[in-house]
Amino acid sequence: MSDTGASPTPPETSRLIRALHAHADLRATAMTAAREKLQISQQDARALEYIALNPGVRPGVLREYLGITSAGVTTLTDRLVRRGVVSREADENDRRATHLTASIDLDVEPWSTLTAIDRELEQAIVDSDAHDVAAATDLLERLLGALGR
């Protein structure tokens, strides 16, 4: 085995990486189960979850969240409306604007496992020291920045 010159990964770093991978894998498995049960795409599932967490969201906000075009969000929304999992309602004050509401309950299968994972993460963050949370946030933001996200 050749020496690459890189220093070994500190044990705490390895633990953090394993924990992040485990959380991501657990969440991905739950999302896949929800998608398969509803027979929807990954993008549709992300949109549906966002709409359920943000009732009354406008399509433009959903478009920004998903990083897709206006035409793309219209097509996606039309598809979810046809499936009966999202409703589109006109804004009372602006007839050109609409609001999206999900007809799914995130506390019921197939979403409840995903919701439980997210709630446990939120509780772990709440229970953590503020300095630790800030350091973890900085770390993850630097990682995402390095990945161009």
**DSSP for 49-85, written as a single string:** HHHHHSTTB-HHHHHHHHT--HHHHHHHHHHHHHTTS
Q: Is the peptide bond before 110 cis (omega within 30 degrees of 0)?
A: yes
pLDDT at 1 > cutoff 60: no
pLDDT at 9 > cutoff 80: no
Give the pLDDT band (50/70/90) at residue 70.
very high
- Delineate the domains of the chain, giving CATH numbers in brackets: 21-148 (1.10.10.10)
Nearest to 27 by CA among 117, 91, 89: 117
Say which residues have a Cβ less than 8 Å from residue 32's Cβ, sequence separation at least 6.
Answer: none
Q: Would you give the end-to-end CA distance of the chain in angstroms?
A: 35
The predicted pLDDT at position 4 comes to 56
The predicted pLDDT at position 5 comes to 58
Helix (H) or strand (E) holding 12: helix 11-38
> How much of the chain, in percent, has pLDDT values that exceed 90?
49
For 72-128, write each residue's pLDDT tens digit.
999 999 999 999 999 999 888 887 889 999 998 888 888 899 899 989 988 998 999
The predicted pLDDT at position 2 comes to 47
For 12-47, write each residue's pLDDT tens digit.
778 888 888 999 999 999 999 989 988 899 999 999
